[in-house]
Structure 1
Amino acid sequence: MSIRNHAVGAPALAAVLALPMLASAQSNVTVYGIVDASVRRADNADAAGGSRTSLNDGVYVGSRFGLRGSEDLGDGLKAIFTLENGFDPSTGTLQQANASASNGSGAAAGGRLFGREASVGLASEALGTVTLGRQYTLAHPLSGRFQPQPNPNLDAISMFSTHHVARQDNMARYYKQLGPVGVYASYTFNEGNGRGRGVGASYTQGPLDLVAYYQEINNAANTATRGISGAGGSYLVTKELKAFLGYMKRNDRGTSAQENDVWSVGANYNITAPLVLTVNYAQDRQSGVNAGKRKMGYVGLDYLFSKRTDLYAEVDHNRLTGAYPLPSFMGTRDSATSFSVGLRHRF
């Protein structure tokens, strides 16, 4: 959808003639989203170790509705914005609408209309892009580049995002592409959500894509700091096969001595034009507090009806050792093997 400015009356006409740059500028707004619903049969889902069947949000990505826009300001400069909310298609309720404070998010007693992202910024061809608002941490999109399904929405097949915090309130973020190298930086202002800062870099050349990042997150009281560092990448082995490998280190300082070492290896393989196979294995080794391991693997098949609509199925397995904390999706410390089937449409 395009929006053009129109002059009405002599005063408005005079203003437009005095500002020819504003008169020629155009704004473009895009409405987009994903609706993804899945049926899941979860093993070891309650305190008795029983199974549960449920209708949920998407397995690989969360359902969302968004608006994205830009305005060409001339001389290689653009104004940009993104407004995006998440919702559960099984109930229609808002996601990311937490009412309590946590690392990166202030208390939101009234909920959040745009809980996934709400940002505005300026993009310059020469100087890079600066955005302000509620945004993804650097670790989230960069770590997604070394996973076959970037930071899956389902906790049972996701490991990295449980540590690095996906998004934060009150963030300023910078990005600049310099040939094959991308540079990233962010700073989060402490307004009841905790201060944060991060740096990152990427290198993309031919079939190779590499990323590295470091970020710190302080709690709201500034009594603890969570440091996250990660590196990894992907390689397009053939037109059909793409391989992924990544590592992340979490180091807590202050009120906790928790440390985590997480690594992941996986691949996407196009069996036929409409059918894609995903395999992934990941392991999280925790030390300092509640020492132990979580081992996770899953296999998925995705059938693409079109560029916008697909049907997928996945089977996942989780096993805990030592004193690793019990995840919310497991009822007991026994292992769990579960499966999901989902239907996804993009617009």
Structure 2
Amino acid sequence: MAATAAAASSATFALGRSSSGVSQLRPARGSSPLLIAGKRKSARISATLLTEKPNSPAPASQEPESLPGNEEQQEEARLASSSSSSSSDKPESWIIRVEQGFNLFATDFVIAILDRLYADRDYARFYVLETIARVPYFAFVSVLHMYESFGWWRRADYLKVHFAESWNELHHLLVMEALGGDERWFDRFLAQHIAVAYYFLTSLMYTISPRMAYHFSECVEKHAFSTYDKFIKAHGEELKKLPAPQVAVDYYTKGDLYMFDEFQTDRLPETRRPRVDNLYDVFVNIREDEWEHCKTMKACQVRGNLHSPHSTKLKDLPDEAQDEKEDEEDEEEVAECAGIVECAITATSHAERVRKKSTALLKQ
């Protein structure tokens, strides 16, 4: 048994260490169940637009139809669309352009550094990416907990989803560690110090503009997706010959998969159960996870547009019962705000929010 485990371990590391194989090949550069905004019946359409192609998972052997082919062109088109959809005298459209412009510049800057440092070391690069990718979700949860303490925020779904996202990224990181991505002291030092700086930057950004912070995280996740996608296409045959790390097998196929379903806000629970037969499957699953993060982060940029996939078991209800359930949840009075300035200015007590809700219902 020990000999078999040792052989599997050596095979697992072979891809990252081979002097003539994959380690010399470079990764390419550059790279809710319902989403709800306002009244849910009308939100289904807008959420569909935000999530590109909901409830249509891609086959493991190919990329989704809505993948970002050229990220820079997509972002430019998106900026142009946001500006054309609103009048030029509205300051918010310019604020959005500035926010997204900064995010794209910062992301491209970090990518350029990683491309230079990790041009021929795939697993080390992935280790750094996964260490960094977890950070925004820590920051979001930290700020939301602070808002909860002040009585400004009472949307538990955001906390649940963001924690599930961090849990998913943690297992990506564990996979990269199992593949030897953290062997060098310099890689650990660099990744951890970037993560600390990124945490404080994201926390500050989130307190000022959650929309900007979510877009920044979307940019990071898109780069991670693109990197894995090109790596899979370049090394697919080699990856299929190598065993999957046990941590990946356990995460994707064993035990309670509640947390795995929770971060995928564009899917109903239990509708995605990946296969993990070899290392190729592992990287395909990680790639698809990153795309699920992209969709969630994009949807979060619309205020109040996120609900836990487990918040309602809509798939088990008939259409009429679904509508009744949605109406009941719409009537719930929830504290929410966007950014610390708005939260501080508009903060009210629970009793006052209930009175305002009752008054509004009576007027209807």
- For the superposition of Structure 1 and Structure 2, which TM-score range results when normalised by the shorter chain? under 0.3
The structure with the largest strand share of the pair is: 1
Structure number with greater CO (CA < 8 Å, separation at least 6) is 2
Query: TM-score, structure 1 length as denominator?
Result: 0.27
Query: TM-score, structure 2 length as denominator?
Result: 0.26
